[in-house]
Amino acid sequence: MEGKVIGPGPYRATKLWNETIKLFRGGMPLRRHWANFRYYDCSFTGSEAVDYLHDLLRCNYNFGPEVTRYQTLQLLRKFLKAHVIEDIKGRHGTEDFEDNGHLYRFPTQSPLKSFPTRPLLRDSSDLPRLIRWDDYEELPQQENIAPMKSAVLTSDLWNKRHSVAIGDVHECKLIRRKEITTKQVGHIWKSMTVAHLQRVLGLKSLDGVLNPTHVNGKHIVHNVFSVNKAGIVILDNKAEDMPYWVVSAMKCLANWPNSTETKQPVYPGFERDVLRTVADYFQRLKEPLLTFHLYEVFVNILSLLQEQQVATEALQVSCLLLPPPNRRQLQLLLRLMARASQNPHLPPLNDALTTRTLMVQMFSHCVLGSVDEMDLDELLATKLVTFMMEHHSTIFQVPSKLRSQVEEHLSHLKRVQIKYAGSDTDFSASPAFCKQISRVVSEEQQVIGTQTPLQELLEGLIADKELPAKDKRKRLKQFQKLYPDVYHNRFPTEESKAAVIPEKAPRLKPHFMFFSLKKPFQPFQRSWSFRA
């Protein structure tokens, strides 16, 4: 019976609705029933329909075991109004479905919904462009010298350190980006968070799922950094927070019976009145805590719940998009629901339902809902809220991968960079080369292009005609020791090396005369005659 449905929000909801109808129509047992001295073939009673559909929904992964019999009855009433079923006399719409022996049947026409028209694809201009090195400024001369011991070297020091190996470096200047504003930081968080969300959801596009114009970068930054030790959002404007009496009531239930939030006498049923106080506040909210704009995002996450780690990360990213007051209220509410459900000392809050089931039914529609009520809203909200309640301690953590990516990008924009005179090469993808790094780091950074300046310096050294050949060979040898990868890439073979590096002049080997010691040395004698 399981069927994992994927796709953008409105299409997924429609597909899920149609799939549920197909499963119900295809599996519902039909037989002959008698009523008023007549028999009706291919029919079923209201109670039989509730029994079968309830089991179907509980066993289906899209809904799960949290579905109650009452929720199943409500869905069958929607089926009757939508003419998915009709009573035995063909009536539907105005009739109310009852969980009794009244007879129903399936109509002959198709009850499936047609899929909504897909929206036109938006261009990428909706997403803020990431700030790059396109806009930079030259550092004033006095800033070229580090005031304290620092890993960042000035241009002169850098030249001096490397001149031993590669000779004098071409004239260069240090540049950096202009100061990054708070607004730009928000844009960077917004752009990278939305892109990360799209990857986690596994969608080619967020069209029909999320409109980037509804995402506020300031909210994301606030949700990441303005938190207390427990990870709960701290609001700058206290007027946006819940009333004190609501927070007090929530703490009372969450810490029962050790709460010190209330000084009122505890009487039988006191805990139920406290819960009703909390429920009244949340049920009167103008929109669900997950907001109408993010409804499609969270509906899509329902298809990922089977993969807990992926679903958790998707919720972590999505909850960063919430306005801070909504995120704070949702955090406190889910924590209350989890603690109350696991508290053995808390008296029963309902005579018919367990505390866990009661919490989910009471608050699910306060968490997730659409502007135009969808037929499966209640069931989808139940499924999502149950998962969020069980994993509330992790879904409000900032994804470590996203955070490191944003911090690395911001750090990169603030680094100093070298620009060579007469060169238009953009080294924006690499860190500053005035910063001393180890050989291991240098090799790792080769992947992102940090070897480019070294390659240029090597070419400059090779092309330097004023440098004596002896000194050139010596410095090339030292360069090979310091940067073997760059050197090997330039000279993969001896032939390639010989083509550009002058060879040493051949040295004549000295010749020696050896004499035998067995015989005494007799000098060569010759007679000379002189004429007067």
Residue 452 confidence class, pLDDT cut points 50, 70, 90: low
Alpha-carbon gap, residue 399 to 200, rounded angstroms: 11
For 368-434, where are the alpha helices, taking DSSP H only? 377-390, 392-395, 400-414
pLDDT value of residue 192: 94
For the four alpha carbons of 94, 98, 100 and 106, in that order, the dihedral sign comes to positive
Helix axes 155-166 and 469-482, enclosed angle (nearest 10) = 110
pLDDT digits (tens, 9 = 90+) for 228-282: 999 999 999 989 999 999 999 999 999 988 865 556 667 888 999 999 999 999 9
Q: How far is CA 520 from CA 131, 145, 370, 516, 523, in A?
A: 92, 77, 119, 8, 10
What's the mean per-residue pLDDT of the chain? 77
**Residue 431 CB neighbour total at 10 angstroms:** 17
pLDDT value of residue 442: 52
Domains of the chain (ranges; CATH) run 12-105 (1.10.10.10), 183-403 (1.10.555.10), 445-498 (no CATH)
Paired sense of beta strands 38-45 and 417-420, if any: unpaired
Average pLDDT, integer, range 92-110: 82
Helix (H) or strand (E) holding 137, with range, is: strand 136-138
Alpha-carbon gap, residue 194 to 293, rounded angstroms: 14
Q: Does 474 or 222 have the greater pLDDT score? A: 222
pLDDT value of residue 368: 94
Specify whether the CB–CB gap between 347 and 271 falls below 8 A.
yes
Which range is most confident: 102-116, 138-152, 338-352? 338-352
φ, ψ of residue 334 to 5 degrees: the values are -65, -35
For 150-269, where are the alpha helices, taking DSSP H only? 155-166, 182-201, 217-225, 244-254
Q: How far apart are the first and last CA of the chain?
A: 136
pLDDT value of residue 146: 42
Residue 162 pLDDT exceeds 80: no
Residue 370 confidence class, pLDDT cut points 50, 70, 90: confident
For residue 181, give every residue at least 6 positions away whose Cβ sits within 8 Å of its Cβ, in sequence order, or none.
none
pLDDT value of residue 426: 45
| Buried/exposed 262-291: b ≥16 CB within 10 Å, e otherwise | eeeeeeeeebeebbebbbebbeeeeebbbb
Tokens 């002189």 correspond to what residue?
A: 530
For residue 26, give every residue at least 6 positions away whose Cβ sits within 8 Å of its Cβ, in sequence order, or none.
none
Q: What is the DSSP letter of 417?
A: E
Helix axes 244-254 and 270-283, enclosed angle (nearest 10) = 130
pLDDT value of residue 389: 95
What percentage of residues in the chain have a pLDDT greater than 70?
70
φ, ψ of residue 343 to 5 degrees: the values are -90, 110
Specify whether the CB–CB gap between 23 and 81 falls below 8 A.
no
pLDDT value of residue 258: 82
pLDDT digits (tens, 9 = 90+) for 269-310: 899 999 999 999 999 999 999 999 999 999 999 989 889 999
**Residue 397 CB neighbour total at 10 angstroms:** 13
pLDDT digits (tens, 9 = 90+) for 459-506: 877 877 777 888 888 888 888 887 888 888 888 888 777 777 766 666
Specify whether the CB–CB gap between 349 and 271 falls below 8 A.
yes
HEC readout, 49-113? HHHHHHHHHHHCCCCCCCCCHHHHHHHHHHHHHCCCCEECCCCCCCCCCCCCCCEEECCCCCCCC
pTM of the model as a whole: 0.65
With vertex at residue 452, the alpha carbon angle to CA 446 and CA 455, rounded to the nearest 5 degrees, is 105
Alpha-carbon gap, residue 208 to 122, rounded angstroms: 10
For the four alpha carbons of 344, 349, 353 and 355, in that order, the dihedral sign comes to negative
For residue 24, give every residue at least 6 positions away whose Cβ sits within 8 Å of its Cβ, in sequence order, or none.
52, 53, 56, 79, 84
Alpha-carbon gap, residue 66 to 385, rounded angstroms: 10
